[in-house]
Structure 1
Amino acid sequence: MGLAQGDPRVPEIWRFRVRDLKLILDRLDEVEARVPGGIDRGRIAVAGHSFGGQTAGNLLGLRVRGGEDYRDERVKAGVLLATAGNGGADLTPFAAERFPFMNPEFAGMETPALVVVGDKDDSPLSHRGAEWMADPYRHSPGRKSLLTVFGAEHSLGGIVGYEAAETTDESPERVALIQRVTTAYLRSALYSEEFTVEVDAGLGSIESK
């Protein structure tokens, strides 16, 4: 948004984002009036990449330390792509200073979710390397699955858009894999189908709990 770091709105940005999502859910009547085909309100999912993953996670039960509980029972499943892990001592000094909201607590994130990580996503925000991004899977309760995409950096092959400036690891194969797995996962979580999807051993791996 181009806000200066000293802007008083900066510490509240994470809340604004969550409230935006909840506002959409609160006003589905208006959305539905403009979208042909209708909305199945019993099968709502939320998904996000990077900071968007934390925003999505808040509706699944993730809490920012010292923040409100924004869990929304209308959301039945989620997909968290390249989403930050634990805060505190796991953060670099830069991240701890600039992003005080990067202190998530996963203990209440009970809603089913798929966590997607790249094994080359060595974030400058944490000392722990790529495995830091698996914390939403490792430290949350309930039914969760983890897709690890081999060779993927933070953009996971280009899910934010081919030739986007932040895509450092462009790979149509990785994007196609993520598309197949996320689609299969959401069908499983929302329609009670078995979560079965084949993953080329050279592209990634899946585990569930």
Structure 2
Amino acid sequence: MSDSNTTNAHEPAFAPTTVVSAKPVVLPAPDRGEDLQVRVSAPATGGNLPVIVFSHGFGWSMNGYAPLADFWAAHGFVVVQPTHLDSRTLGIPHEDPRTPRIWRIRIEDLTRVLDELDVLEASVPGLRGRIDRSRIAVAGHSWGAQTASTLLGARVLDSDGVPGEDLSDPRVTAGVLLALTGLGDDLTPFAAENLPFLRPSFGTMTTPALIVAGDNDRSTLSTRGPDWFTDPYTHSPGDKSLLTLFGAEHSLGGIPGYEVAETTDESPARVALIQQLTTAFLRTALHPEDTGWKAAVTALENAPDPLGKLQSK
């Protein structure tokens, strides 16, 4: 899995790799009201491929986040992208009775994907027998990061501040959390009233994770500034790293897609850094003998004009 050219986070890893992709792969979900549509992408060759299950941000779908999904698949991962019920592609109205539970259904979507890896593997021509089920990571952006964090051990506090059900999944051994919202003590009145699930506890989020935050990400959901997005690092135990990107807003330079209108801080260089560092982190987290993460950290530290800073604990 390792490649010597991945050591410099500011250079292309290696020559383009052919990726095969299948969508939509439909997983029956009678209890959900809509069957779960999934996109699966993987390198055309190679075996013992680790898995990344990616949870999209609000309104997006399996078709989003190509800058990340394409890169990861080209660099040796099977990338699985479910379409959650809040996706604009489904057009479910806000008054739908499922709306208050969508945050929980999102988590069930990720678990369903893990339960149905055999079906997903069979959906991509030539993929059967090439997945390494012992090496599974979750990743997500914004609301998707909140969804993914629960599989890493984060829990949602109830109105009395009591942690809710433990929804962590032992099959998941690493995570990447991009622009994950912070503690619920600092929500605006609107968010506190309408988004009660934004009251996380990171005290039990013990699974190793890379948390990525922009130092110019100012959320309308919080009364705090950009440091709100560093809470998942500050308040979680265990093996964690925090990448703080200089000047980055909520789209972190444009990870939701190429030429996306809602990206207010477009930066191909910033996206490239996220591609390289998340890949290096996940490779080493899932293959501890891989030295790519250590080399990528050193490269960022020694960069003459770094785009961000890393800290680990």
Of 192-201 and 174-183, the range deviating more from structure 2: 192-201
Runs of at least 4 residues off by over 4 Å: 2-6
Structure number, greater radius of gyration: 2
1:181 matched to 2:274: no
Gaps of 5+ in 2: 1-85, 159-163
Q: Which residue of 2 aligns with 1:20?
A: 109
Of 137-146 and 191-200, the range deviating more from structure 2: 191-200
Q: Which string of whole-angstrom CA distances, capped at 9 and with x for unpartnered residues, describes residues 62-103 of structure 1?
A: 111133211000001000000100003x11112112211100
Q: Secondary structure at the match of 2:254?
A: coil
Q: Which residue of 1 aligns with 2:194?
A: 98
Match for residue 40 of structure 1 among 132, 143, 147:
132
Q: Which residue of 2 aligns with 1:86?
A: 183
Deviation at 1:5, TM superposition (A): 4.3
1:50 matched to 2:142: yes
Q: Secondary structure at the match of 1:43?
A: strand
Cα distance in structure 2, aligned partners of 1:142 and 1:179:
24
Q: Which residue of 2 aligns with 1:77?
A: 174
**RMSD value over aligned CA atoms?**
1.3
Q: Assess if the C-alpha contact under 8 Å between 1:11 and 1:101 holds in 2.
A: no
- One-letter identity of the residue aligned with 1:183: T
1:205 matched to 2:309: yes
1:134 matched to 2:210: no
Cα distance in structure 1, aligned partners of 2:183 and 2:271:
26
Deviation at 1:189, TM superposition (A): 0.5
Deviation at 1:162, TM superposition (A): 2.6
1:119 matched to 2:211: no
Deviation at 1:7, TM superposition (A): 3.6
Gaps of 5+ in 1: none
- One-letter identity of the residue aligned with 1:185: F
TM-score, normalised to structure 1, is 0.95
1:60 matched to 2:60: no
- One-letter identity of the residue aligned with 2:136: I
Q: Secondary structure at the match of 2:134?
A: coil
Q: Assess if the C-alpha contact under 8 Å between 1:162 and 1:170 holds in 2.
A: no
Cα distance in structure 2, aligned partners of 1:86 and 1:136:
8
- One-letter identity of the residue aligned with 1:87: G
Q: Secondary structure at the match of 1:147?
A: strand
Cα distance in structure 2, aligned partners of 1:113 and 1:56:
11
Q: Assess if the C-alpha contact under 8 Å between 1:115 and 1:144 holds in 2.
A: yes
Cα distance in structure 2, aligned partners of 1:183 and 1:112:
14
- One-letter identity of the residue aligned with 2:120: V
1:166 matched to 2:166: no
Q: Which string of whole-angstrom CA distances, capped at 9 and with x for unpartnered residues, describes residues 28-76 of structure 1?
A: 1111222333211111000000000001101100111133211000001
Q: Secondary structure at the match of 2:131?
A: coil
- One-letter identity of the residue aligned with 1:98: N
Cα distance in structure 1, aligned partners of 2:214 and 2:198:
19
- One-letter identity of the residue aligned with 1:76: T
Deviation at 1:159, TM superposition (A): 0.2
Q: Assess if the C-alpha contact under 8 Å between 1:54 and 1:83 holds in 2.
A: yes
Cα distance in structure 2, aligned partners of 1:159 and 1:207:
22
TM-score, normalised to structure 2, is 0.64
Deviation at 1:166, TM superposition (A): 1.7
